[in-house]
């Protein structure tokens, strides 16, 4: 077995660029999927049956199919639905947003439901409006339950971005796999890819633990 690790150093700028695209995808997806999740959670609680049903169907569908399939599906369906030729990056972003919005919606819903009904009723009895009750009583308590779960979702999302490599989004996994097939340095590149994900992901996992300890609610 003869190994040549210099390929990793030679391709450092490409790998760095890939890592930046990975981080960018993670950040953009979360920026879209947090409001998306809130909207879906509110829609599920709506008095209009059709709205609630649509949101439920959306959430259950996109939570219960493999992300890889969702990415392929978006890749072929999005151009037909929108009539636009979307870039692989935009397609990957759409697929990730559909998946993570569905997850976030469940997070927000269970956070809101965890606050006992009596508190809403007490607020209403005091003459507060529904939106005042939501903003001043429910949200301040619910966010403590929501934040640790969102943090875990963040790390899962960071890892899941590797799957958009199958539609040639130039993020870390795709970049490393490309260099691997051009240089034939398979072991070196795959190990470097794993090491870079580890370097980026390990601190994130530790921060999530810290958030769970600091904000987690113990019954």
Partner 1 sequence: MEFDFSPLLDSWRFLASGLGLTILLSITAVISSLILGMAVGLGRLYGPSWLKSILVFYIDSMRAIPVFVVLVWIYFAVPIISGHTFAPFWAALTGITIHVAAYVAEVVRAGLTSIRKGQSQAGLAIGMSSSQILRHILLPQAIVRMLPALGSIISVTIKDTAIAAVIAVPELMRQAETLAGQTYRPIEIFTAVMVIYFLLIFPVTRLVDRIYIRVAHLGRS
The residue ranges that bind partner 1 (CB under 8 A) are 1, 60-61, 64-70, 72-73, 76-77, 80, 155, 159-160, 162-163, 165-166, 173, 177, 180, 186-187, 190-191, 193-194, 197-198, 200-202, 204-206
Helices within the chain (DSSP H only): 6-10, 12-44, 49-63, 67-82, 88-113, 117-125, 130-133, 139-160, 172-183, 186-215
Output the smallest distance, CB 122 to partner 1, in A: 27
Output the smallest distance, CB 72 to partner 1, in A: 6
Output the smallest distance, CB 68 to partner 1, in A: 5
- Nearer CB in complex with partner 1: 72/134: 72
Q: Are 36 and 101 in contact (CB under 8 A)?
A: yes
Q: Are 153 and 103 in contact (CB under 8 A)?
A: yes
C-alpha to C-alpha distance for 203 and 206, rounded to whole angstroms: 5
Distance of CA 26 to the CA centre of its chain: 7
- Nearer CB in complex with partner 1: 80/125: 80
Output the smallest distance, CB 115 to partner 1, in A: 19
- Nearer CB in complex with partner 1: 39/200: 200
Tokens of 212: 């769970």
- Nearer CB in complex with partner 1: 137/151: 151
């Amino acid at each position: 077995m003869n190994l040549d690790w210099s390929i990793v150093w030679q391709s450092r700028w490409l790998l760095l660029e890939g890592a930046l695209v990975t981080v960018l995808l993670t950040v953009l997806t979360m920026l879209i999927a947090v409001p998306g999740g809130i909207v879906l959670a509110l829609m599920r609680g709506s008095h209009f049956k059709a709205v609630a049903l649509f949101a439920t169907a959306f959430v259950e569908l996109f939570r219960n199919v493999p992300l890889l399939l969702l990415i392929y599906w978006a890749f072929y369906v999005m151009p037909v639905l929108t009539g636009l030729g979307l870039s692989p990056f935009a397609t990957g972003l759409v697929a990730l947003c559909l998946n993570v919005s569905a997850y976030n919606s469940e997070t927000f819903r269970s956070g809101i439901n965890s606050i006992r009904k009596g508190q809403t009723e007490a607020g209403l009895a005091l003459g507060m409006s529904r939106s005042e009750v939501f903003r001043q009583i429910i949200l301040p308590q619910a966010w403590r339950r929501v934040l640790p779960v969102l943090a875990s979702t963040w790390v899962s999302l960071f890892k899941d971005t590797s799957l958009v490599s199958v539609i040639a989004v130039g993020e870390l996994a795709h970049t490393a796999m490309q260099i691997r097939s051009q240089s034939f340095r398979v072991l070196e590149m795959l190990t470097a890819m794993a090491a870079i994900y580890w370097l980026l992901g390990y601190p994130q996992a530790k921060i999530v633990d810290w958030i769970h300890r600091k904000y987690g609610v113990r019954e």
